Amino acid sequence: MNSFYRIFPFIIVLPAGFLFPAAGQPPYDNYHLVWSDEFDVSGLPDSKNWGYEKGCSVRNSELQYYAEAREKNSRVEDGFLIIEAHRETMSGCTYTSANLRTMGKRSFKYGLFEIRAKIDIRQGSWPAWWWLPNSGGWPRGGEIDMMEFYQGKCLFNVMDGNQKWSSKTKRVSSEWAERFHVWTWEWDSLKIDLWLDDTLMNHYPVENADGTGPNGENPFRRPGYMLVNQAIGGTNGGDPSKTEFPIQYIIDYVRHYQQGGDTSGVKSDSSPMIYFNGKRVLHRNGTSLLSPPLAVTVYTINGRSAEKWAISGNDGPMSLSRILDRAGRCSTVSQQLRIVTIREVNGQLLRFTTITRK
């Protein structure tokens, strides 16, 4: 995201009733959830997790003023974090937006991280999800851009302490931008892997950054913090003058998993969310979010007394071809189901589903 110096899943339904994630997804085995923000409480973002960068044109000659704790620019609404940019004058800038960061609140070193989000890819939009070091500064402390978009392409970047960039890109379309997508970042002492929708986009050997960090350290063997922001214009964002505002960066959740521990256990207080036709069906506490609500009953999970979902509508069982994908989204209508047994892996992450046909 600090680019001023820069040079440059699917699931198959088998006859036996099992749903298997396709090859190529991040290796979730032996990871367990240690922190997440599911954005369930409306209003300003949770101050235990997020603080704010503030100021006009903080970097990259960008055009926005980053506002602090201003609901017009950053708020939780209907279970989503919305970072919203507006064309309006504030403190010398002609646009307003927000940059949320965990600095001083949540520190991260190693693990598997996810964000499920929908981004605006129109001219002038420059959203990002990225990492900076707790100490050592930029550029010496390094930078990881798990998700960045501008000028028609998503970027997946790693920059060492000598400002040497490893950058991969993917062109995306307006149709692509109409949907939510999942960006995943796996990081340990040996590698940084950046994924988009279960496709590996950039593999970076951490040893490549040896000696480039503060005091000759490797910058990617040190802790840091995450940022989510919506920039406007600047060196890479493009000219926003003909774009209709507001611009929204909509985030469903941010999650952090770490290796070790029992990943098959049940968390009775954190029911996963279910989506149907792009709308969230259930709150994490199991209550329906639709009106009229779906009838949802919780029974068992992994054979224990926890969670099984019996889903029905006004006319009987809901017709679905598959109930969930790995990101917790529901898909198209075709196959009638009576009971869905959900196996939970890694806390709230859903990997396998067994269905009992009607």
* pLDDT tens digits along 118-136: 999 999 999 999 999 999 9
Distance from the Cα of residue 17 to its chain's centroid: 29
Is the pLDDT assigned to residue 234 strictly greater than 60? yes
How many CA atoms are closer than 13 Å to the CA of 357, on its beta-carbon side? 9
> Which run of H or E residues covers position 184?
strand 181-187
The answer to whether residues 69 and 176 belong to one domain is yes
How many CA atoms are closer than 13 Å to the CA of 80, on its beta-carbon side? 17
Distance from the Cα of residue 251 to its chain's centroid: 6
Output 197 or 325, whichever has higher pLDDT. 197
Q: Say what percent of the chain tops pLDDT 90.
A: 59
**Closest by Cα among 39, 107, 103, 101 to 75:** 39
The answer to whether residues 289 and 250 belong to one domain is no
pTM of the model: 0.72
Band (pLDDT 50/70/90 cuts) for residue 2 is low
The answer to whether residues 251 and 295 belong to one domain is no
Q: Any idea which of 32-36, 194-198, 236-240 has the lowest mean pLDDT? A: 32-36
| Domain end position, chosen among 226, 259, 292 | 259
Q: What angle do CA 186, 189, 191 make, to 5 degrees?
A: 50
Q: Report pLDDT for 346.
A: 34
Average pLDDT, the chain: 75
The answer to whether residues 234 and 290 belong to one domain is no
Indicate which residue of 38, 84, 114, 148 is catalytic: 148
| Domain end position, chosen among 230, 259, 288 | 259
What six digits make up the tokens of 218?
């490797």
Domain of 328 in residue numbering reads as 275-357
Residue 321 lies in a domain: yes
The answer to whether residues 199 and 150 belong to one domain is yes
The answer to whether residues 208 and 141 belong to one domain is yes
Query: What confidence tens digit (pLDDT) does each residue in 250-288 have?
Result: 999 999 988 874 333 322 223 334 444 344 444 444 444
Out of 36-40, 213-217, 318-322, give the one with best mean pLDDT: 213-217
The answer to whether residues 242 and 110 belong to one domain is yes
| Domain end position, chosen among 259, 285, 315 | 259
- Listing DSSP states for 41-110 in one string gives S-BSPPTTT-EEE-EES-STT--EEE-SS-TTTEEEETTEEEEEEEEEEETTEEEEE-EEE-TTT--B-S
**Closest by Cα among 29, 50, 87, 97 to 244:** 87
Residue 344 annotated in active site: no
Is the pLDDT assigned to residue 143 strictly greater than 80? yes
**Closest by Cα among 223, 222, 192, 219 to 106:** 223
Indicate which residue of 143, 186, 217, 344 is catalytic: 143
Residue 143 annotated in active site: yes
Q: Report pLDDT for 12.
A: 25
Residues whose CB is less than 8 angstroms from the CB of residue 152 and which lie 6 or more positions away in sequence, other chains included: 121, 171, 172
